[in-house]
Structure 1
């Protein structure tokens, strides 16, 4: 009877050890490198290219306005010696007003570009956050940290970096849309 009890005890210890190390729920601490996800996510490149095209168009409009103003200024400088005082004052005021309008337009364009960049970046970040959330649920992770290269995670063993797996799944999901 002692042999049966000892055998059962040994078997119970072995089963408990097996359960602890092999059947444990996946609750280890893991992380993803957010910068790598942003850089490697295919939608990021598409969004950046779209924003670059819009920015080029808007800045080319500003450049053409500035070019036109500079031509008017050169014309004024050539002809001012033959102008009356009243004509000079009027022309200076017109040039000054036009310069102010161009400056205001340029600031509005910069603001618009910054807002569109922020919206585009937020869209990409939302995609990544939503995907990581689902990935974590499906993988049974309790926590997935986001490392940003600024000291959030000072050390992590190689097996805790999910960046490559998450990035692969994120891009597959995006391509499937």
Structure 2
């Protein structure tokens, strides 16, 4: 009866060691390269193309207004000598007001473009984050780091890089939606 505690103790130590090594391997730290995900994700490309198309249209409106205003300036310069002092002042005031309106419109358009860009980018980021959460849960990862090239991960082995696997899954999921 006294020989039983020793084998139990040895078995306990063995189980503890095996458990330690098992959990050590399963909690391997992994990461994804966020820049590569953003660049390689098909939705990013589509969202970026739609955004650029919209921005081009908005900027074309501003350009059109500027062209009209410049044409009016040239006309004013040609007719200037024929106008009375009062007509000159009135025309200058009208041109100044129009320039101010165009400047205000241009600022509003730039603000709208920035907001649209931020909104589009956030949509893509939310997609990626949601997918990575599902991916991590399904693969049993407790943490997936995001490397962006700005120093938050200074070194990681290639085997810890999940970027291509995640990117493949993201694009497959996106293609299935469209």
User: TM-score, length-normalised on structure 2?
Assistant: 0.88
The DSSP-based 3-state class of the residue aligned with 1:32 is strand
The aligned residue for residue 43 of structure 1 is: 43
Matched residue count: 170
Deviation at 1:26, TM superposition (A): 2.4
Q: 1:78 to 1:28 in 2, by over 3 A?
A: same
Determine the C-alpha separation between the residues in 2 that align with 1:50 and 1:159.
36
Whether the 8 Å contact between 1:25 and 1:140 is mirrored in structure 2 is no
The DSSP-based 3-state class of the residue aligned with 1:76 is helix
Structure 1: where are the runs of 5+ without partners? Answer: none
The aligned residue for residue 61 of structure 1 is: 61
Determine the C-alpha separation between the residues in 1 that align with 2:134 and 2:25.
17
The aligned residue for residue 102 of structure 1 is: 102
* Runs of 4+, deviation exceeding 4 Å: 15-25
Determine the C-alpha separation between the residues in 1 that align with 2:109 and 2:17.
65
The DSSP-based 3-state class of the residue aligned with 2:92 is helix
The DSSP-based 3-state class of the residue aligned with 2:32 is strand
User: TM-score, length-normalised on structure 1?
Assistant: 0.88
The aligned residue for residue 150 of structure 1 is: 150
Deviation at 1:18, TM superposition (A): 6.3
Structure 2: where are the runs of 5+ without partners? Answer: none
